[in-house]
Amino acid sequence: MPLADTITSELEREAVTTRNLLALVPTDKLTWAPCGTSMTLGVLANHIATLPGGIAVVGAMDGLDLNNLKHAAQPESTSAVLASFDTGVAQAKETIGGMNDETLMGNWSLTKEGKTIFAVPRIGLFRTILLNHLYHHRGQLSVYLRMLGVRIPSIYGPSADENPFA
C-alpha cells in the first residue's frame, strides 16, 4: 500500500466523525469561550475545519517559517465552518494522494527566522500535525460542546449520550 493511502484513508474515516461534531457547533455560541485564556468556540471549530487543507498546502512545500503561519479566524456561522472543512479535507486528500513514497519520506522543516525548530519526514508532518493535532482539537471541541449542554455523539465508542453498541 502506498504511504499516501495510509494517511488519506485515515483522514477520510476520521473526517466523518469530525464533521459530525463540527455540525453540532451552535452558531449563536461561536463567540463563547470556557475562560478568558481559551479560544472561542468559533475559532476552535474554524481551526479544526482549516487544519486539513492548511497542512496539505504547507506539506506540499519543503517547510514553513513560523512567521508565515496563519491563525484561524472567528467564523460567521457553523455552515461556513463545515464548508471550510469539506473543502480542506478534499484538498488534503488530493494533495497527499498525489505524493509518492519518496516525496512523503522527504524532509520537511519548521523554522523561525532561518533557525530550524524541527525537521521530520513529510509523512511525519501529516501524521502528527494533520491527524494527531486534529484529533487533539476534536477532543477539545467535544469538551466545549459538553460544557454548552450539547449531546456528544459516539467518537471511538460510547459517549454519555450515545452508545452505538446498545
Instruction: Residue 24: give its domain's CATH number.
Output: 1.20.120.450
Confidence of residue 69 (pLDDT cuts 50, 70, 90): confident
What's residue 117's pLDDT? 95
The stretch 129-139 carries a mean pLDDT of: 96
pLDDT of residue 103: 97
| Structural domain includes residue 7 | yes
Query: Is 34 a domain residue?
Result: yes
Give pLDDT, residue 155: 95
Q: Give the C-alpha separation, 122 to 145, whole Å.
A: 33
In a domain, 102, yes or no: yes
User: What is the pLDDT confidence band of residue 43, given thresholds at 50, 70 and 90?
Assistant: very high
Residue 129 lies in a domain: yes
What was the pLDDT predicted at 90?
98
Q: DSSP readout, 74-134?
A: PPS-HHHHHHHHHHHHHHHHHHHHT--HHHHTSEEEEEETTEEEEEEEHHHHIIIIIIIHH
Q: For residue 159, is it within any domain?
A: no
- Could you give the number of structural domains in the chain? 1
pTM of full prediction above 0.75: yes
Q: Is residue 155 part of a domain?
A: no
Q: How confident is the model at residue 97 (pLDDT cuts 50, 70, 90)?
A: very high
| Each residue's pLDDT tens digit, 101-127 | 999 999 999 999 999 999 999 999 999
- To the nearest whole percent, how much of the chain has pLDDT over 90? 95
Tell me if 164 is assigned to some domain: no
| pLDDT at residue number 166 | 87
- Could you report the per-residue pLDDT of 137-148, keeping only the tens digit for each? 999 999 999 999
Residue with cell 499516501: 4
d(CA 70, CA 68): 6
- At residue 59, the pLDDT reads 95
In a domain, 94, yes or no: yes
Domain hosting 126: range is 3-147
